[in-house]
Structure 1
Amino acid sequence: MLKRFGIATAIALLRFLAVLPYGVTARFGDALGALLYRVPSRRRRVVETNLALCFPQWSEAERARVAGLHFRHAIRSYVERSVQWFGSARKLEKLIQLESAIDLRDPDLPPTIFLGFHFVGIEAGSIFLNYSLHRRCGSLYTPMSNKKVDDIARAARGRFDAEMVPRGDSARAVLRMLRERKPVMLGADMDYGPRNSTFVPFFGIDACTLTAVSRLAKAGRAQVVPFIGEVLPNYRGYKLKVFEPWRDYPTDDEIADARRMNAFLETQIPAMPEQYYWVHKRFKTRPPGEPSLY
């Protein structure tokens, strides 16, 4: 009962925050993140470990600075689910700048996989990309452990006519949607375990990386278009940046294709390292015989 009460309270708080001015909600999330960073925690250690592995050339002071900023961004991103899940389309239009290298409303858009990356703005970016397409599309998601929260999240993420597809065993659904010329949004830059994955470098560290994007693009004859959601400074909202389709992708080499995804990230993260999702154990799965890095 207490657990249900806690979830109900959290959802009610998100709905309340959604009606406040965005700047108030964002500042509240920022302050909460700054406060929680001061408390030693497992997630804080994960952030610090990831930054030490990926940026050994930085001083300890610089890594600590970025870790603190990231923790604030990460907690704030959860608070801002309020706006992203429950805010109106008009409010999202005011908050999110769209910068696209392709015409998202092109009626002749070929089969397309929109490849999202786990910066803290991915939720806002994914929902607004769905809205900006102005057509039925598909979106892969990882179900949450609590069914009530999962139902609310799935409805919120799919409210602009997205078919929400659970990530597990989703290949058939993705290929079906691509055949129907429905764009598909998915993220693949986290450690989902050894299944359908390979080890390729990510900032010089072997990282368990999905090869499914390459296979799905090949089987569905789809172009792959990266996108990134960025949190703008001074509580001004977000920018959704949609890139050009990757040329000469996929290839016949799934490992090279996986490496290309990580290499793309390596070009984008240095511009805003505090916004990449370092709270995730990116190096949790290790090659056989290697000890845990966490």
Structure 2
Amino acid sequence: MAFLIRSLFRALSGLPLSVLHAFGWVVGWLSFGLSSRYRQRLFAHAAQAGYPRRVALATVAESGKLVTELPRLWLGRPVPVEWAGAEHIDAALAQGTGVLFLTPHLGCFEITAQAYAKRYGATHPMTVLFRPARKPWLRDLVAGARQRPGLFAAPTTLAGVKQLIKALKAGQAVGLLPDQVPPQGQGVWAPFFGRDAYTMTLSARLAQAGRVQILLSWGERLPWGRGYRVHVRPFEILNAGPLSTDADEAARQINRAMEALVRECPAQYLWSYDRYKQPHRSAPPSP
């Protein structure tokens, strides 16, 4: 099985991005049609944020593309990338501080780290946090694909967190998805689009690991397989100030920042992600 999957990934990695995104359209709508749970979560989360069903339906194909573009991003030749806001990265790196990139489940979050590594990794490497796959054969494929010049991967373990802190203290870059639900005991409850969501505190802890600047980024998937546009925003602009040292307030600030990015392109947000799930023994606060 492992050999077949790797062979399939290698074969798909040579296809044009437009073809892979066409496959993704099919995969997305098949998933939508076959899973009532998927449909319910998709519509409920989009409605919670105030978006009509037409916006939720627009994300169906985008979710499929998120899967089928991976062979090309992991194993294929480079894809076209545009930048919107790279000057904010230039300014942050010029100050010699660590740079913390926060990226929601919006658009193609794989491309944000890859594009950074290609442009800046030779002098300022990036370390990204990722959750290792449960299947050993898939774990090796994912880890190998994400390790590349100027880009390192840190697992969601204590050792991985230490790796992130070390990178920031060395004046390097770190990237993570702060809207990913953390394990019990590693987060606080904070509003996300008007509903309490268990939110990681790791983002705030990393921001306090010495001299660190926070940048927000996301990778817009351009139509017809034309590539991607990486957007970069200073955290202070969207939050009207620096990140709080209080864990609860910091979580609220980060969630507000993620909401602001999602509003830039709600049709590419992963509304089907179980953002409001309740970790074991971690009940939301009473209303």
TM range (shorter): 0.7 to 0.9
- Please report how far the alpha carbon of residue 43 of structure 1 lies from its aligned counterpart in structure 2 after TM superposition: 2.5
Partner of 1:25: 20
Matched, 1:254 2:247: yes
Asked whether the equivalents of residues 187 and 198 of structure 2 are also in contact (C-alpha less than 8 Å), the reply is yes
- Please report how far the alpha carbon of residue 251 of structure 1 lies from its aligned counterpart in structure 2 after TM superposition: 2.2
- Please report how far the alpha carbon of residue 290 of structure 1 lies from its aligned counterpart in structure 2 after TM superposition: 7.2
The amino acid that maps onto 2:8 is L
CA distance in 1, matches of 2:244, 2:202: 13
- Please report how far the alpha carbon of residue 48 of structure 1 lies from its aligned counterpart in structure 2 after TM superposition: 2.2
Partner of 1:138: 127
CA distance in 2, matches of 1:190, 1:228: 15
Deviates more, 1:203-212 or 1:158-167: 158-167
The amino acid that maps onto 1:226 is L
Which ranges in structure 1 are unaligned for 5 or more consecutive residues? Answer: none
Structure 2 residue matching 1:220: 3-state secondary structure: coil
Partner of 2:200: 210
Structure 1 residue matching 2:234: 3-state secondary structure: coil
Deviates more, 1:161-170 or 1:8-17: 8-17
- Please report how far the alpha carbon of residue 69 of structure 1 lies from its aligned counterpart in structure 2 after TM superposition: 2.2
Matched, 1:97 2:82: yes
Question: CA offsets, 1:116-160, max 9 Å, x none?
Answer: 221131012222222222333211111100122111111211213
Which ranges in structure 2 are unaligned for 5 or more consecutive residues? Answer: none
Question: CA offsets, 1:68-124, max 9 Å, x none?
Answer: 321211121110001110122xx32xx211222324494654111111221131012
CA distance in 1, matches of 2:156, 2:43: 28
- Please report how far the alpha carbon of residue 177 of structure 1 lies from its aligned counterpart in structure 2 after TM superposition: 1.4
Structure 1 residue matching 2:191: 3-state secondary structure: strand
Structure 2 residue matching 1:38: 3-state secondary structure: helix
Asked whether the equivalents of residues 14 and 79 of structure 1 are also in contact (C-alpha less than 8 Å), the reply is no
- Please report how far the alpha carbon of residue 52 of structure 1 lies from its aligned counterpart in structure 2 after TM superposition: 3.0
Matched, 1:277 2:270: yes
Asked whether the equivalents of residues 30 and 76 of structure 1 are also in contact (C-alpha less than 8 Å), the reply is yes
The amino acid that maps onto 2:30 is L
- Please report how far the alpha carbon of residue 9 of structure 1 lies from its aligned counterpart in structure 2 after TM superposition: 3.0
Residues 115-126 of structure 1 mapped to structure 2, 5 A cutoff: 115-126=102-113
Asked whether the equivalents of residues 34 and 71 of structure 1 are also in contact (C-alpha less than 8 Å), the reply is yes
Deviates more, 1:151-160 or 1:46-55: 46-55
Question: CA offsets, 1:226-285, max 9 Å, x none?
Answer: 111111123322111122253743322221211111111222222321211222110002
Matched, 1:112 2:99: yes
Partner of 2:10: 15
Give the count of matched residue pairs: 276
CA distance in 2, matches of 1:13, 1:166: 25
Deviates more, 1:224-233 or 1:125-134: 125-134
Residues 161-176 of structure 1 mapped to structure 2, 5 A cutoff: 161-169=150-158, 170-176=160-166
Partner of 2:46: 51
The amino acid that maps onto 2:183 is G
Superposed structure 1 runs of 4+ greater than 6 Å apart: none
Deviates more, 1:267-276 or 1:102-111: 102-111
Partner of 2:67: 78
Structure 2 residue matching 1:120: 3-state secondary structure: coil
CA distance in 1, matches of 2:182, 2:61: 25
Asked whether the equivalents of residues 43 and 279 of structure 1 are also in contact (C-alpha less than 8 Å), the reply is yes
CA distance in 2, matches of 1:249, 1:41: 42
CA RMSD of aligned residues (A): 2.3
Deviates more, 1:119-128 or 1:79-88: 119-128
| Alignment equivalent of 2:177, drawn from 181, 184, 187 | 187
Percent of residue pairs identical: 25
Question: CA offsets, 1:17-55, max 9 Å, x none?
Answer: 221222111112112222332223433332222223332
CA distance in 2, matches of 1:11, 1:234: 26
Structure 2 residue matching 1:225: 3-state secondary structure: strand
- Please report how far the alpha carbon of residue 12 of structure 1 lies from its aligned counterpart in structure 2 after TM superposition: 2.2
